């Protein structure tokens, strides 16, 4: 048999080498488990025929094997590169790597989707450079004491509410707004239908990296709450109260120190009341304008925690210097408080403070009012499913109760929101308030207990249910009352 020349054998080996490599590597390229397919083809027998002479045994550090043939550095380097590649690792897996894990390969893993904190929160609309979030609610319920009087008659009611929130997406400056309105229609009693509306616009102008201008404008429509001594009980319907106001402030940072000066103006207008007898009750003597200025300083002791102090003065000027009862109700006020501001996202945000407030009246027949105040607007994220909100407010308000200089109002509430499921949100709250009518010897203590449940059908719709109980205990005879409210509704959002 004729022997082939050594050169011909070498050429044949070089010609067949690409085919042999492709045959060895192709199963790795087509491995279905790398692409999430069923591993039917990849589950073939691991025993494969090995062609060619086996490598020499007894390799040592000298670079020679038992055949006494030196290894070429180029081939050794190439072998290292091939064994480090994903394809070579796949081939190693087919030769029997444990659990089919490619040796020395980069394993493909499916990307994990981030878990949303509020998967049913409104998505909103993008209009230009603004995010807009509209929502609407329709509710139906029963109130066993809509007039908030002792032994009051109950009534079914329907409530329609809508709200639109918007916020800018600018790299500098900011503009945010909120517009909401609601109307409550009592179906079995007359003279208690209540409209409500509010519009807010907030802006920030970043002058420099360390200074800014803050602007705020608002307008509101409301009525005197049922059961209030200032309510006109002989009116066909509660008269409207219109409020307009705004703030303008300048804030300057000095490293960790921040100082701010703010001025404010607010106008309150009371609509005349149309009486059941057909007459008109003039309420213009209750109209007034309030002017105020406040100075605030804070220092960031650690990131997200700022203690602060704030002091402000204001003056209330009535349209009628002397009201229809012959009383001069103009007054000057002073507020001073100190507290902490928190900005720990996903943990604690808001602020809490305590201080002192006083108000001096122009009429010497009216006693001055002063006392301790407590304010809070704090949100604590206890866990991924539970959120606790604390709110408190203290204010010296106006009243027409005979003999009273004003009403010192304090109110605090705590609300716990828990997600039993991502689509099932439960809320429970307790609210306590006290209205102290200084000079008239009357004090009202109010307690409200409420619980609600929201079931999200999807991201655009939710079913809601709520029960609430309101109790008032007064030092004035015959003014105590209890009211129980239950309602169900549908919320639509975008």
CB 176 within 8 A of CB 168: yes
Say how far residue 394 (Cα) sits from the centre of its chain: 24
Mark whether 94 and 192 lie in a shared domain.
no
Does residue 65 belong to any structural domain of this protein? no
Mark whether 208 and 309 lie in a shared domain.
yes
| Phi, psi dihedral angles at 133 (to 5 degrees) | -125, 100
pLDDT of residue 151: 86
pLDDT of residue 79: 42
| Phi, psi dihedral angles at 83 (to 5 degrees) | -70, -20
CB 353 within 8 A of CB 340: yes
Mark whether 91 and 158 lie in a shared domain.
no
- What does the CA dihedral 205, 208, 210, 213 come to, rounded to 10 degrees? -20
Check pLDDT > 90 for residue 47.
no
Mark whether 381 and 474 lie in a shared domain.
yes
207-229 mean pLDDT: 95
Q: 434 lies in which domain range?
A: 127-493
Answer with the one of 102, 136, 151 that is the final residue of a domain: 102
Answer with the one of 102, 136, 160 that is the final residue of a domain: 102
Distances (CA, A) of 463 to 47, 158, 400, 490: 62, 15, 41, 5
- Model confidence at 108, in pLDDT bands (50, 70, 90)? low
Where is pLDDT greater, at 36 or 152? 152
> Each residue of 302-320: pLDDT tens digit?
999 999 999 999 999 999 9
Burial 314-323 (b: 16+ CB within 10 A, else e): bebebeeeeb
In which residue are the tokens 């494969």 written?
48
CATH, residue 460: 2.40.170
Q: Is 128 left (phi over 0), alpha (psi -120 to 50) or beta?
A: left
Does residue 459 belong to any structural domain of this protein? yes
Burial environment of residue 278 by CB neighbours within 10 A (0 to 12, 13 to 18, 19 or more): exposed
Does residue 319 belong to any structural domain of this protein? yes
Mark whether 331 and 233 lie in a shared domain.
yes
Q: In this structure, what token pair is assigned to residue 311?
A: 């002091």
Show Cβ contacts of residue 124 under 8 Å, excluding neighbours closer than 6 positions. Answer: 131, 132, 133, 494
382-392 mean pLDDT: 95
Does residue 422 belong to any structural domain of this protein? yes
Mark whether 98 and 183 lie in a shared domain.
no
Mark whether 18 and 136 lie in a shared domain.
no
Show Cβ contacts of residue 406 under 8 Å, excluding neighbours closer than 6 positions. Answer: 331, 359, 361, 366, 369, 396, 397, 398, 399, 437, 438
Does residue 21 belong to any structural domain of this protein? yes
- Model confidence at 68, in pLDDT bands (50, 70, 90)? very low
Tell me which residue of 247, 251, 175 sits closest to 218, measured CA to CA. 247
Mark whether 145 and 92 lie in a shared domain.
no
Tell me which residue of 441, 445, 372, 446 sits closest to 405, measured CA to CA. 441
Q: In this structure, what token pair is assigned to residue 333?
A: 């006020």
> What pTM did the predictor assign?
0.75
In which residue are the tokens 């807009």 written?
132
Whole-number average pLDDT of the chain: 83
- Between helix 86-94 and helix 6-29 the angle, nearest 10°, is 90
Mark whether 304 and 388 lie in a shared domain.
yes
Percent of the chain at pLDDT > 90 equals: 72
- Model confidence at 82, in pLDDT bands (50, 70, 90)? very low
For the beta carbon of residue 435, count every other beta carbon within 10 angstroms.
20
Check pLDDT > 50 for residue 111.
yes
- What does the CA dihedral 65, 69, 73, 76 come to, rounded to 10 degrees? -50
DSSP 36: T
Mark whether 404 and 369 lie in a shared domain.
yes
Check pLDDT > 70 for residue 458.
yes
pLDDT of residue 116: 60
Distances (CA, A) of 197 to 107, 176, 219, 404, 438: 59, 17, 8, 29, 30
Check pLDDT > 90 for residue 3.
no
Does residue 154 belong to any structural domain of this protein? yes
DSSP 120: T
Show Cβ contacts of residue 372 under 8 Å, excluding neighbours closer than 6 positions. Answer: 354, 355, 356, 357, 394
- Model confidence at 448, in pLDDT bands (50, 70, 90)? very high
Mark whether 191 and 318 lie in a shared domain.
yes
Does residue 73 belong to any structural domain of this protein? no
Where is pLDDT greater, at 37 or 248? 248
For the beta carbon of residue 143, count every other beta carbon within 10 angstroms.
26
* Total domains present in the chain: 2
261-289 mean pLDDT: 96
Percent of the chain at pLDDT > 70 equals: 76
- Model confidence at 117, in pLDDT bands (50, 70, 90)? low
275-279 mean pLDDT: 91
Does residue 120 belong to any structural domain of this protein? no
Mark whether 12 and 160 lie in a shared domain.
no
> Each residue of 231-242: pLDDT tens digit?
998 999 999 999
pLDDT of residue 121: 87
pLDDT of residue 345: 83
């Amino acid at each position: 048999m004729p022997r082939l020349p050594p050169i011909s054998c070498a050429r044949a080996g070089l010609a067949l080498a690409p085919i042999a490599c492709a045959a060895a590597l192709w199963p790795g390229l087509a491995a279905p488990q790398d692409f999430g397919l069923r591993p039917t083809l990849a589950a073939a027998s691991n025993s494969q025929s090995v062609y060619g002479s086996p490598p020499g045994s007894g390799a040592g550090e000298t670079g020679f094997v038992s055949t006494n043939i030196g290894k070429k550095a180029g081939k050794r380097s190439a072998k290292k590169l091939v064994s480090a590649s994903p394809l070579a690792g796949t081939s190693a897996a087919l030769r029997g790597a444990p659990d089919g894990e490619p040796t020395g390969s980069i394993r493909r893993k499916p990307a994990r989707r981030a878990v949303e904190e509020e998967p049913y929160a409104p998505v909103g609309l993008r209009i230009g450079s603004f995010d807009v979030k509209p929502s609407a609610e329709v509710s139906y319920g029963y109130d066993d004491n809509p007039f908030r009087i002792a032994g009051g008659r109950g009534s079914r009611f329907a409530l329609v509410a809508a709200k639109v929130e918007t916020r800018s997406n600018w790299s500098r400056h900011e503009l945010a707004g909120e517009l909401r309105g609601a109307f409550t229609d009592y179906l079995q009693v007359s003279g208690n239908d209540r409209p409500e509306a509010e519009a807010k616009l907030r802006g920030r102008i970043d002058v420099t990296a360390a200074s800014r201008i803050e602007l705020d404008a608002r307008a509101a429509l409301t009525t005197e709450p049922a059961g209030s001594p200032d309510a006109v009980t002989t009116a066909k319907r509660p008269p409207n109260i219109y409020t307009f106001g705004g703030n303008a402030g300048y804030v300057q940072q000095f490293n960790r120190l921040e100082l701010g000066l703010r001025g404010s103006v607010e106008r309150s207008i009371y609509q005349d009341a149309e009486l059941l007898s057909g007459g008109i009750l003039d309420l213009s003597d209750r109209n007034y304008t309030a002017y105020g200025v406040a100075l605030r300083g804070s220092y960031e002791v650690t990131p997200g925690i700022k203690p602060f102090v704030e002091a402000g003065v204001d003056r209330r000027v009535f349209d009628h210097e002397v009201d229809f009862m012959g009383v001069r109700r103009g007054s000057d006020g002073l507020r001073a408080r100190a507290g902490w501001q928190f900005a720990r996202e996903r943990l604690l945000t808001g602020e809490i403070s305590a201080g002192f407030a006083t108000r001096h009246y122009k009429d010497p027949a009216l006693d001055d009012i002063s006392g301790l105040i407590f304010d809070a607007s704090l949100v604590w994220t206890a866990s991924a499913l539970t959120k606790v909100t604390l709110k408190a407010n203290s204010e010296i308000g106006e009243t027409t109760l005979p003999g009273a200089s004003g009403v010192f109002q304090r109110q605090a509430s705590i609300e716990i929101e828990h997600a039993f499921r991502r689509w099932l949100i439960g809320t429970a709250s307790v609210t306590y308030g006290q209205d102290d009518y200084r000079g008239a010897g009357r004090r009202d203590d109010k307690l409200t207990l409420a619980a609600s449940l929201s079931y999200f059908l999807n991201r655009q719709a939710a079913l809601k249910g709520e029960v609430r109980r309101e109790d008032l205990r007064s030092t004035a005879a015959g003014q105590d009352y209890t009211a129980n409210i239950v309602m169900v509704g549908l919320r639509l959002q975008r």
